[in-house]
Structure 1
Amino acid sequence: MILAPRQCLFLTAAGCILLIVVTLYQYCPIASDRKPEQSASSSSPASPTSNAANSTLGFQAIFALSAGPSWRTRGLLAAANLTGLEITLPPQPPIPADLITAFQTLGDSTHPARGASKAWLAHLDLIKHIHQSNLDTALILEDDADWDRRLRAQTPLIAAAVRNLTHFSPTEDNDDAPYGRAWDLLWLGHCGEYWEDGIETVVFDDPTAIPHAQYSGWAREYLARLPDRRRAVYRSYNPVCSFAYALSRDGARKVLELVGGGGDEAFDIAVMHHCRAGRLECLSVVPEVVHQYFPAERFGVKSLVDVGNGEVDGPGEEDFEAVMGSTENILESARCWALWRQTCLRQYI
């Protein structure tokens, strides 16, 4: 059929409009609530130290040392959920009573008490798991550990300080490690550390660090020698308690070789002695960023080490678990914030 000139003009105009609409649709995508995924080519590479803010704090894995479900693990997992941490709780192998007795007798001089021996063997079991898994790095937490709810903002600063202190020289092959690779053990959680002038130290601003006036523990006088409201990283001299420590691949192997045979007061003391002697490359973070959570003092809850040493256990956890306790040297407790929406800094007396 032959169309009249006016009809041809109309169809030509309609075709042009259709072409324009198709073109606009093709080059002007419709807005969506979904955010587009960033491709590797469209984003600049992140600094390795920024990876210390990820869900495993820049380590290949985080493990909690635990004898099983309890108020300790429930609070730990609540804090982990609040702060976005991925923590694995491997089943703890049974530790036969005869093995504990035999372990107590190892070594020539100092021997651990029974509760300390059992805890020591539990640490060794978990470190063996890390070694057998061939992990590059791993962080170990005791299951009553607590940390500041801003921990993931603290760790990149610590990672940068560790790299600085160890004079880490990155190459294309090893620059992916947030904390560098020149260490065996990072002591992130302890109950005190010594410091004096002359110790090579990296100090950095950290508004989340506990003020000197509020710090609790035997090391208060040594902390006072460092600048207030700042954090420091230096080579370990006398850290005590093993609330949180990270191991490199070599570090895990060395710890098993050096302290796997007992012969000291406790696991943390044995490791500390090897750190001080230079057989382990250990670094301490001061003030600590992980500490132990204490149930409310009036309930008289005992640690598993104390119970293992023969002390009478306190009340059942149903009596105290719902009552807020406290944590030393952590300004904004992740446990207490997760469970009670409050801070619970244990006051210095």
Structure 2
Amino acid sequence: MTRPTFQLVAICITIFSGFLWFSSTQLHSSRNFEQNLPSTFLKGSRAPPTPLCNVRPNLVVDEPSDDPIWDIQNRTLGFQKIYAISMPHRIDKRDYQALMALVSGLDIEFVDGVNGSEIHPKALPNFWKGEEGAGTIGCWRAHLNIYQSMIQEKIQTALILEDDADWDVLIRAQMTEAARGARYLQNAALPLHSPYGDDWDIFTIGHYGVDNKPYKNQQYWVTKDDPTVIAPSRRPWPRKPDLSAPALGGDHTRIIHEVYRFTATQAYAISLRGAARVLYDQTLQPHATAIDLAMAAMCKSERWGPTSCLGAYPMIFGRFRPAGPKDADSDRRASTNEADPGSIKEHTGERAEAESEFTVFPVSLNVEKLLANEWVISAQLPQQDMQKNINLREFVFPRGGPVVVKPDEYINDEHP
């Protein structure tokens, strides 16, 4: 080996040895450093964040552990998604929906509402049969946008809310009972994919009136003495089911039933199958109209079968109304800051105090208590409601049961 070559090899060996020594010392130093760190600083062993709200109401579920009804305790109430439709400029409504979701342990995904005046004329329905006005068409399109997304993403079930929807602090207990009822109506048996059964399209649980089917033998799931049911004096809507059969009676009775028609879309669940059917009906058929009327027409026709449309009466979800100008309540109708040309004028005047319509123990009016981890919640209207207050740690929700009512059992004979 020549002298220059020998010198070059020696230099390379020296550099390589130095690199190995430096690497080993750094590794040793790094290990010593990690050994001296508190465990909370190490990856995978950090303490979980302290929950902002530890209030989780008592809930009795005695179904088998492999029953999907247990999924109602998750952050989407057993649905694959919870969507809330909200105009992009209504950040105020998103504020309180976000707070309500937090204290309820829910994950809600906001979906931008649609200003109907900005829809391209070529995208408007050719055979519109609904109320004129950009607000109604924009509302219709916002719901259809969700159905389209569900189809593209294969979302099996979704709960769709309007951005002023409100719900009870006992929402999981209510929805567990609703699931039992929905399954009964479908004659569902395990195994199931959804806790609500797998043979339904629309489940309306936040409406302003609904009809049942008293003209035929009808199955009901009946829950008596439910303290979350609003008193009859708080039910001002004209559309009401016939509850004149003795088995359906009681001021604080909730029923789960097949739906003939319903009004409004404050809160409803829809399956992927249902989303596809409504989208087909509203875009490829000459039936386009206000979205609640569109779904109600499908339910009435029983085109897709008798259990295609299910409902809860009285409704489970209500509506939050904050203190302040009443014309800020809705974006479907024009307000003083008219962002939606062509719509009808909304109510005027001031609301002195916030209120929740159609709920008894509303989350909206109890956010502060829930953030403070208080377990006793007062009824909104204790003079009318069944219980003046409720201890969430101790309360056991009433269990409903199946009932079949024949047409001749209804006292009222004025049926649709």
TM-score by length of 1: 0.74
Which residue number in structure 2 is paired with residue 81 of structure 1? 102
Q: How many residues align?
A: 298
Which residue number in structure 2 is paired with residue 168 of structure 1? 188
**CA shift at 1:328, angstroms?**
1.9
Which residue number in structure 2 is paired with residue 185 of structure 1? 202
Q: What is the identity, as a one-letter code, of the residue corresponding to 2:202?
A: L
- Distance between the aligned counterparts of 2:299 and 2:268, measured in 1? 13
2:360 to 311, 328, 331: 331
**CA shift at 1:339, angstroms?**
5.4
Contact kept? 1:66, 1:142, Cα under 8 Å: yes
SS in 2 for 1:89: strand
Q: What is the identity, as a one-letter code, of the residue corresponding to 1:145?
A: A
Distance change in 2, residues 1:45/1:224 (3 Å): same
- Of stretches 215-224 and 325-334 in structure 1, the one that deviates more from structure 2 is 215-224
- Distance between the aligned counterparts of 1:124 and 1:290, measured in 2? 21
Q: What is the identity, as a one-letter code, of the residue corresponding to 2:212?
A: W
What pairs with 1:1-349 in structure 2 (closer than 5 Å)? 45-68=65-88, 69-91=90-112, 97-99=118-120, 103=124, 106-107=126-127, 109-110=129-130, 112-171=132-191, 175-195=192-212, 197=214, 198=216, 199-205=218-224, 206-219=226-239, 222=242, 226-228=248-250, 229-260=252-283, 263-280=287-304, 281-296=308-323, 299-307=326-334, 308=340, 309-311=342-344, 324-338=353-367, 344=380
- Distance between the aligned counterparts of 1:115 and 1:155, measured in 2? 31
**CA shift at 1:300, angstroms?**
3.8
Distance change in 2, residues 1:278/1:133 (3 Å): same
Q: What is the identity, as a one-letter code, of the residue corresponding to 1:201?
A: Y
- Distance between the aligned counterparts of 1:109 and 1:328, measured in 2? 30
SS in 2 for 1:141: strand
1:148-167 deviations in Å (ceiling 9; x for gaps):
11101111111011000111
1:200-258 deviations in Å (ceiling 9; x for gaps):
32212333222323333223574676422121111111210001111112111111101
Distance change in 2, residues 1:240/1:101 (3 Å): farther
- Distance between the aligned counterparts of 1:164 and 1:139, measured in 2? 20
Q: What is the identity, as a one-letter code, of the residue corresponding to 1:155?
A: M
- Distance between the aligned counterparts of 2:241 and 2:297, measured in 1? 21
Contact kept? 2:205, 2:269, Cα under 8 Å: yes
- Of stretches 212-221 and 254-263 in structure 1, the one that deviates more from structure 2 is 212-221
Give RMSD over aligned pairs: 3.2
SS in 2 for 1:306: coil
- Distance between the aligned counterparts of 2:121 and 2:195, measured in 1? 38
- Of stretches 162-171 and 253-262 in structure 1, the one that deviates more from structure 2 is 253-262
SS in 1 for 2:365: helix
Distance change in 2, residues 1:299/1:339 (3 Å): farther
- Of stretches 324-333 and 143-152 in structure 1, the one that deviates more from structure 2 is 324-333
Distance change in 2, residues 1:345/1:196 (3 Å): farther
SS in 1 for 2:228: coil
**CA shift at 1:60, angstroms?**
0.8
Which residue number in structure 2 is paired with residue 29 of structure 1? none
**CA shift at 1:346, angstroms?**
12
Contact kept? 2:278, 2:295, Cα under 8 Å: yes
SS in 1 for 2:222: strand
Contact kept? 1:79, 1:335, Cα under 8 Å: yes
- Distance between the aligned counterparts of 2:343 and 2:117, measured in 1? 17
Tell me the percent identity: 26
Contact kept? 1:66, 1:89, Cα under 8 Å: yes
**CA shift at 1:74, angstroms?**
1.3
- Distance between the aligned counterparts of 2:178 and 2:233, measured in 1? 22
- Distance between the aligned counterparts of 1:270 and 1:240, measured in 2? 10
**CA shift at 1:145, angstroms?**
0.6
1:87-127 deviations in Å (ceiling 9; x for gaps):
11144577663536963x63275554321011101111122
- Distance between the aligned counterparts of 1:113 and 1:223, measured in 2? 36
- Distance between the aligned counterparts of 2:241 and 2:302, measured in 1? 25
Gaps of 5+ in 1: 1-33, 35-43
SS in 1 for 2:110: coil
- Distance between the aligned counterparts of 1:237 and 1:345, measured in 2? 31
- Distance between the aligned counterparts of 2:96 and 2:197, measured in 1? 31
Gaps of 5+ in 2: 1-47, 49-63, 335-339, 371-377, 385-416
Distance change in 2, residues 1:162/1:99 (3 Å): same
Q: What is the identity, as a one-letter code, of the residue corresponding to 1:282?
A: C
TM-score by length of 2: 0.63
